[in-house]
């Protein structure tokens, strides 16, 4: 497998908050229109690309680190999410499946790099800020 991407959010997750909290906050956010359109297109292609795939399956889930695995018609990939000094980090490792996988990865590269990941990082940053705000205004504070 090859490291495809590595990203870090500059904001620190508040003390006591876990990656579960961050994922929950992220799931509640509306996607930016361009990213939402690309996710919709990807969902439409799912019958072709994801035959016999269970999607992202947790390999392990810890409060400050987790690893997910996916295998489908295009790739085997690992998604590693962790906290480094309370800053969320994301690493993606990929092994394409044959020519089809290599062509697919090449075709999605500009969309992934310039639309999907920047949108995800902005949402994650906003989620960390929201968690910090909620923690500072929660009961007893």
pLDDT of residue 63: 87
Residue with structure tokens 């949108």?
Answer: 119
pLDDT of residue 55: 87
pLDDT of residue 136: 54
Domains of the chain: 2-133 (3.30.530)
Which residues, in sequence order, are bridge partners of residue 3?
93
Distances (CA, A) of 132 to 11, 15, 65, 91, 101: 10, 9, 19, 23, 40
Contact by Cβ (8 Å): 18, 64? yes
Q: Note the pLDDT tens digit of each residue in 14-50.
A: 998 999 999 999 999 999 999 999 999 999 998 888 8
């Amino acid at each position: 497998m090859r490291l495809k991407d590595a990203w870090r959010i500059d904001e620190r997750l508040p003390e006591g908050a876990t990656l579960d909290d961050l994922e929950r906050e992220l799931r509640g956010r509306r996607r930016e229109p361009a990213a939402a359109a690309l996710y919709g297109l990807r969902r439409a292609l799912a019958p072709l690309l994801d035959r016999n795939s269970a999607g992202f399956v947790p390999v392990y889930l810890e409060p400050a680190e987790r690893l997910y695995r996916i295998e489908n018609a295009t790739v085997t990939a690992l998604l590693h999410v962790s906290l480094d000094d309370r800053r969320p980090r994301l690493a993606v490792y990929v092994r394409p499946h044959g020519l089809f996988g290599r062509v697919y990865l090449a075709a999605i590269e500009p969309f992934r790099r310039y639309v999907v990941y920047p949108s995800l990082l902005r949402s994650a940053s906003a989620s960390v800020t929201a968690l910090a705000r909620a923690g500072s205004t929660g009961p007893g504070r």
